């Protein structure tokens, strides 16, 4: 979802076709986040349990606190998976290869452009909707009792001066104020830069895995841990230190464990987790960004990279399509949820029951979000990729002559 495509040329380093399953994995994670946000807005108990003003509206909401149903609302594990995917994809082609300095420096410089197109576009669109008063999330929150969660966003009058300051000085760090999912893009930006810096310094170091392991331990309470986990898995896969495709039972065990830990409800209170779910016997990870979420994402990712069967399944055309538009899907859905989806619900609920209104709104909204994500991919994200690639080529062409001149300069 937040990742650039990458291409390999021989079987030992994996071909682009064999890596296409990772696109689908991003798409699935993006769809999980969309579902989590819709349920958080309309059925908040199913995500948060009993806290705040959240109330159980339907008996089936309890199902989301147990496996395997909880897997489809594993929003925090999906976010952790994004960052593991980034660490894997961004490092794979560079690990153990020399002469990559120019490409890595160019990759660092171009990264804000690569990620920024959809960030800047959605901030502007959201600001315009806010200014026009077309967000209806507060009204929906009054019906669904999604307070404080859904009522928090786009609160109060639109501040044009504040918007200009945020847009021109801190779009990556303040973008979430206008489009909530953008908080992860800031982590993606800085995490990917850290990955490139690590590769620039240590990609040829024989025992680089020890440094990577140290970083995994040091960032154990942070989402940045995902980047280092992804990088270590990339190193293991690239140098054939994982049993890929040889033991069918091992990926199945990893997938089952991933499902179990992913269904641990991340956003409920410790008291509700102990009394209202089956996970009370496990030590609590309350207050941690990662915990069981990162563990489940790691186990899931390992099961995919080790299983040829899972990779084939993930090459289904529909999953591949959602992988292609996953970044745009991720960054546009919340704006649509707070505006058009909320407005549709308020109109339909005047004539139909709450549950029926939600089903209609959700189905129509997913179709609209998919269409808008397709347009966002074509008109914003693809041009951003082209511009970033152009910038990368220019920087590489400038770097090589300078590097030769420096290497030929006699020492004093």
Q: Which residue has the higher pLDDT, 391 or 264?
A: 264
- Give how far Cα 165 sits from Cα of 159, 160, 168, 175, 350, Å: 10, 9, 6, 11, 40
Q: Which residue has the higher pLDDT, 243 or 34?
A: 34
Q: How far apart are CA 150 and CA 338, in angstroms?
A: 8
State the average pLDDT over residues 50-61: 94
Q: Give the pLDDT confidence score for residue 401 in this predicted structure.
A: 57
Q: How far apart are CA 154 and CA 177, in angstroms?
A: 7
Q: How far apart are CA 25 and CA 216, in angstroms?
A: 22
State the average pLDDT over residues 193-205: 94
Across the chain, mean pLDDT equals 91
Q: Give the pLDDT confidence score for residue 399 in this predicted structure.
A: 61
Q: How far apart are CA 364 and CA 369, in angstroms?
A: 9
Confidence of residue 16 (pLDDT cuts 50, 70, 90): very low
Q: Give the pLDDT confidence score for residue 400 in this predicted structure.
A: 57
pLDDT(253) > 70: yes
Percentage of residues of the chain with pLDDT beyond 90:
81
Considering only CA atoms, which of 38, 117, 33 is closest in space to residue 81? 33
Q: Give the pLDDT confidence score for residue 248 in this predicted structure.
A: 79
pLDDT(6) > 80: no
The string of pLDDT tens digits covering residues 219-245 is: 999 999 999 999 999 999 988 888 876
Which residues make Cβ contacts (< 8 Å) with residue 395, sequence separation at least 6?
Answer: 102, 105, 106, 109, 110
- 122 contacts 228 by C-beta, under 8 angstroms: no
Q: Give the pLDDT confidence score for residue 286 in this predicted structure.
A: 86
Confidence of residue 246 (pLDDT cuts 50, 70, 90): low
Q: Give the pLDDT confidence score for residue 68 in this predicted structure.
A: 95
Instruction: Read off the tokens for 267.
Output: 């956003």
Distance, first Cα to last Cα, the chain: 49
Confidence of residue 20 (pLDDT cuts 50, 70, 90): confident
Return the minimum-mean-pLDDT range out of 96-100, 113-117, 308-312.
96-100
The string of pLDDT tens digits covering residues 277-328 is: 999 999 999 888 889 999 999 999 999 999 999 999 999 999 999 999 999 9
The string of pLDDT tens digits covering residues 350-369 is: 999 999 999 999 999 999 99
State if pTM tops 0.85.
yes
pLDDT(52) > 90: no
Instruction: Read off the tokens for 84.
Output: 């593991």
């Amino acid at each position: 979802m937040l990742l650039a495509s990458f291409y390999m040329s021989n079987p030992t380093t994996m071909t682009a076709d064999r890596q296409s399953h990772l696109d689908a994995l991003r798409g699935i994670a993006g769809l999980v986040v969309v579902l989590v946000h819709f349920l958080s807005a309309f059925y908040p108990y199913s995500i948060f349990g009993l806290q705040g003003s959240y109330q159980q509206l339907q008996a089936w909401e309890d199902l989301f606190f147990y496996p395997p149903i909880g897997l489809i609302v594993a929003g925090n594990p999906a976010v952790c998976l994004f960052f593991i995917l980034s660490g894997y994809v961004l490092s794979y082609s560079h690990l153990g290869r020399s002469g990559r300095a120019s490409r890595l420096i160019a990759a660092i410089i171009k990264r804000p452009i690569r990620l920024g197109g959809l960030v800047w576009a959605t901030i502007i669109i959201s600001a315009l909707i806010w200014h026009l008063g077309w967000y209806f999330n507060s009204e929906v929150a009054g019906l669904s009792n999604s307070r404080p969660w859904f009522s928090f966003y786009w609160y109060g009058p639109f501040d044009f001066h504040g918007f200009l300051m945020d847009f021109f000085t801190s779009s990556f760090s303040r973008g979430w104020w206008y489009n909530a999912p953008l908080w992860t893009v800031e982590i993606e930006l800085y995490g990917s830069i850290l990955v490139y810096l690590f590769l620039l310094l240590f990609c040829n170091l024989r025992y680089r895995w020890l440094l990577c392991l140290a970083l995994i331990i040091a960032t154990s309470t942070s989402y940045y841990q995902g980047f280092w986990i992804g990088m270590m898995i990339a190193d293991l896969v690239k140098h054939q230190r994982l049993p890929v495709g040889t033991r069918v039972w091992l990926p199945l065990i990893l997938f089952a464990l991933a499902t179990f830990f992913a269904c641990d409800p991340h956003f409920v209170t410790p008291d509700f987790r102990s009394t209202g779910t089956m996970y009370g016997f496990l030590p609590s990870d309350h207050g941690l960004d990662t915990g069981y979420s990162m563990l489940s994402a790691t186990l899931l990712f390992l099961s995919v990279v080790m299983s040829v069967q899972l990779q084939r399944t993930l090459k289904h055309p529909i999953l591949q399509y959602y992988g292609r538009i996953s970044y745009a899907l991720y960054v546009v859905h919340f704006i649509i949820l707070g505006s058009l989806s909320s407005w549709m619900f308020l109109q339909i609920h005047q004539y139909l029951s709450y549950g029926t209104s939600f089903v209609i709104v959700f189905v129509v909204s997913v179709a609209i979000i998919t269409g808008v994500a397709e347009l966002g991919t074509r008109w914003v994200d693809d041009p951003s990729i082209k511009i970033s690639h152009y910038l990368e080529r220019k920087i590489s062409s400038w770097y090589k002559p300078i590097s030769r001149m420096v290497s030929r300069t006699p020492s004093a």
